[in-house]
């Protein structure tokens, strides 16, 4: 198990994405160069209608999934636009080992894994030298959890996890 790989999993709504984004902020405040991707929800009138992918370093974004996206790739009621996802995610992650001190991925899940290029890049990052903090959908926790320290996020620990993770990253720098 690599001491520079931190993987977060847990049930929906447990705070995994919040933990990641707080950790991004803490490590940026410490002067570390951080990059990677997040996949926040898109909401309309309080209802989730899709997801976008955001490059954490450049701010570039694209709509990767939505209720109105026609696609052969589906997760529930969402069509997944693999090309749009790859147009942001792959440039954000390519060369990350040289550009960033820490790479964040939110998340490694069904929608994202429709991209074979992303799937390959994830393995490269998990087995490479860069420090990685990633959310892994609970269905994939066994598959990817073996590459690093796996944390189960819950309401009880989600407030303490960002500082704990940031402290571990800084200790191993």
Q: What is the pLDDT of residue 172?
A: 79
What counts of helices (H) and strands (E) characterise the chain? 7, 10
d(CA 161, CA 155): 11
Q: What is the pLDDT of residue 97?
A: 87
Average pLDDT of adjacent 10-residue blocks, the chain of 173 residues: 86 94 97 97 95 97 97 97 98 93 97 98 95 97 95 95 96 81
- How many domains are contained in the chain? 1
Q: How many CB atoms lie within 10 A of CB 26?
A: 18
d(CA 72, CA 36): 26
- Tokens 């060369």 locate to 95
Q: What is the pLDDT of residue 1?
A: 56
CATH number at residue 70: 3.40.50.300
Q: What is the pLDDT of residue 2?
A: 62
Q: What is the pLDDT of residue 133?
A: 98
Angle between helices 82-93 and 116-127 in degrees, nearest 10: 20
Per the structure, the complete domain to which residue 13 belongs is given by 5-171
């Amino acid at each position: 198990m690599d001491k520079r790989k931190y993987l977060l999993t847990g049930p929906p709504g447990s705070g995994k994405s919040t933990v990641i984004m707080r950790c991004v902020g803490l490590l940026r405040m410490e002067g570390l160069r951080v990059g990677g991707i997040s996949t926040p929800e898109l909401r309309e009138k309080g209802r989730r209608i899709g997801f976008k992918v955001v490059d954490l370093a450049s701010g570039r974004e694209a709509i990767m999934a939505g209720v109105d996206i026609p696609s052969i790739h589906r997760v529930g009621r969402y069509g997944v636009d693999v090309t749009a996802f790859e147009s942001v995610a792959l440039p954000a992650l390519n060369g990350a080992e040289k550009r960033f001190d820490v790479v964040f991925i939110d998340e490694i899940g069904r929608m994202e894994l429709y991209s074979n290029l992303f799937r390959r890049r994830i393995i490269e990052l998990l087995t490479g030298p860069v420090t990685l903090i990633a959310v892994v959908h609970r269905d994939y926790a066994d598959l990817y959890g073996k590459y690093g320290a796996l944390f189960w996020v819950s309401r009880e620990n989600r407030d303490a996890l960002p500082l704990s993770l940031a402290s571990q990253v800084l200790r191993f720098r």
